[in-house]
Amino acid sequence: MSLPQCRFCKSVLEHTFVDLGMFPLSNSYLRQEQLGRMEPFYPLHARVCARCFLVQLEQFEAPEGIFSEYAYFSSYSETWLNHAREYAERAVSRFELNGQSLVVEIASNDGYLLQYFQRKGVPVLGVEPAQNVAMAAEKKGIETIAKFFGIKTAREIIAAGRQADLIVANNVLAHVPDLVDFVSALKLLLKPRGSLVIEVPHLLQLMQGTQFDTIYHEHFSYFSFCTAKEILQEYGLKVFDVDEIPTHGGSLRIYACHVEENSKRIEPRVSEMESRELAAGIRDLAMYASFAGRVREVKRALLEFLIQAKRAGKSIAAYGAPAKGNTLLNYCGVGKDFLDYSVDISPHKQNLFLPGTHIPIHHPDILRRTRPDYVLILPWNLRDEILSQLAYVREWGGQYVIPIPTVEIIK
């Protein structure tokens, strides 16, 4: 069997980052009547390119099969809404946006971000491939094109007489199997003096925090700053600034413009971030080779805790039904023998079952009725928000479990 090629530089992918085994699609939640049917599983084998150091998965399922009907709605997290509000306020000020500007968000979800630009009088346009999520945005009054973004869609928007002063691409670059088409389309849609802002989980933080649960099939690629900058440069976009932000366990906010645009000063943070990554070993294959061993240790530690707790007669529930939680549970082999159920605040996931493990998802009210001894927090990146929401668990002596990067028990 021939080895796959890098989706950016086309080099042969000879080096494993981590091989987690066989998994279902992490956002393919099941209905009751589906539990007895065959569930497709695909390899979850992340490789690293020895030339450009892009970490990536092979594509086993077309984006249409993953994103056309989507269970994730951004507006159910207060942390994420606050992040979006602050983002919009900063962007309006920094880029001097007004009623004659246009902000386009790629993968705009349910309008969670664009609503804040719109409230400031800035015209907006969303591009969101999931029909059900796009409809939710439209109901909020956010104009949304329900299509995948690429050169074809960019040309359709331009043909309608629109180009973007600001393109926002938050947590979408990782979801793109065809980087050439996507990044070329970003350049095409951007006005000559416009700005592109991309948020992407930071590969360096993923490695340093052993955040292997961030790896799942809809995340085709995992980016360091050095590699993201190289990809943007290859297709005519120049990085002029970068921020580190706490979302998703540590992300980058990358600012770019046309390479021909000379009015934007390249900030010192660009070279500082490159230097930090290189000093940490981001272009050293040995750093990538050591990751899998740390992942196995996280699995052992979580299983040791769960086995001891169950042998002591303790009850355990999970909070949240995020995609990352499905990677964690399936890799660790944690099913209904350890967890009684999961809960999620989103009604779009309630009364469904987690893929692979078939753990039922309920409304959070069940926690008060059943009073579990432990609550395993799967979206650990939102720990502060969730611990505040679940403060009542302490009423019966319940404790919280954070699984990543090491098992942490919070009383």
C-alpha distances in angstroms, 224 versus 86, 156, 217, 280?
24, 32, 19, 11
Report whether pLDDT(373) > 80.
yes
Whether 340 is in a domain gets the answer yes
Backbone angles phi, psi at 406, to 5 degrees: -135, 160
Looking at the fold, whether 369 and 223 belong to one and the same domain comes out as no
Looking at the fold, whether 86 and 196 belong to one and the same domain comes out as yes
Task: Indicate left, alpha or beta for 15 from its phi (over 0: left) and psi (-120 to 50: alpha).
Answer: beta
Q: Looking at per-residue confidence, does 66 or 337 come out higher?
A: 337
Report whether pLDDT(67) > 80.
no
pLDDT digits (tens, 9 = 90+) for 252-311: 999 999 999 999 999 999 999 999 999 999 999 999 999 999 999 999 999 999 999 999
Report whether pLDDT(78) > 90.
no
Provide mean pLDDT across the span 18-30: 93
Report whether pLDDT(70) > 90.
no
Looking at the fold, whether 280 and 403 belong to one and the same domain comes out as no
Task: Indicate left, alpha or beta for 62 from its phi (over 0: left) and psi (-120 to 50: alpha).
Answer: beta
Whether 373 is in a domain gets the answer yes
Report whether pLDDT(61) > 80.
no
Whether 268 is in a domain gets the answer yes
- Which domain CATH number covers 321? 3.40.50.720
| 293 SS3 class | helix
- pLDDT score for 101: 98
Q: Which domain holds residue 130?
A: 74-288
pLDDT digits (tens, 9 = 90+) for 80-95: 788 899 999 999 999 9
Of the candidates 80, 15, 92, the one whose C-alpha atom is nearest the C-alpha of residue 47 is: 15
Report whether pLDDT(108) > 90.
yes
Provide mean pLDDT across the span 299-325: 97
Looking at the fold, whether 138 and 179 belong to one and the same domain comes out as yes
Provide the pairing of β-strand 374-377 with 316-319.
parallel
Provide mean pLDDT across the span 152-159: 98
Looking at the fold, whether 155 and 259 belong to one and the same domain comes out as yes
Q: Report the C-alpha gap between 176 and 54 in whole angstroms.
A: 13
Residue at which a domain ends, from 288, 308, 343: 288
Residue at which a domain ends, from 254, 288, 322: 288
| 309 SS3 class | helix
Q: Give the length of the chain.
A: 411
C-alpha distances in angstroms, 276 versus 244, 253, 282?
12, 16, 9
Contacts of 410 (CB under 8 A, 6+ apart): 387, 399, 400, 401, 402
Give the pLDDT band (50/70/90) at residue 341: very high
- pLDDT score for 63: 62
Contact assessment for residue 281 and residue 203, using Cβ atoms and an 8 Å cutoff: no
Whether 56 is in a domain gets the answer no
Whether 11 is in a domain gets the answer no
What b-and-e string marks burial along 366-384, b requiring 16 or more CB atoms within 10 Å of the CB?
bbeeeebbbbbbbbbbbbe
- Residue 267 CB: number of other CB atoms within 10 A? 15
Looking at the fold, whether 180 and 276 belong to one and the same domain comes out as yes
Q: Report the C-alpha gap between 329 and 303 in whole angstroms.
A: 10
| 202 SS3 class | strand
- pLDDT score for 71: 53
Looking at the fold, whether 234 and 128 belong to one and the same domain comes out as yes
Looking at the fold, whether 312 and 396 belong to one and the same domain comes out as yes
Give the pLDDT band (50/70/90) at residue 353: very high
Looking at the fold, whether 284 and 296 belong to one and the same domain comes out as no
Backbone angles phi, psi at 9, to 5 degrees: -100, -5
| Percent of the chain scoring above 90 in pLDDT | 87
Backbone angles phi, psi at 260, to 5 degrees: -80, -10
CA gyration radius, the chain: 21
Q: Report the C-alpha gap between 158 and 290 in whole angstroms.
A: 46
Provide mean pLDDT across the span 318-343: 97
> How many Å separate Cα 274 from the centre of its chain?
22
Whether 352 is in a domain gets the answer yes
Backbone angles phi, psi at 195, to 5 degrees: -125, 145
- Which domain CATH number covers 130? 3.40.50.150
Looking at the fold, whether 263 and 307 belong to one and the same domain comes out as no
Whether 166 is in a domain gets the answer yes
- pLDDT score for 227: 98
| 140 SS3 class | coil
Q: Which residue has the tokens 């906010």?
A: 253
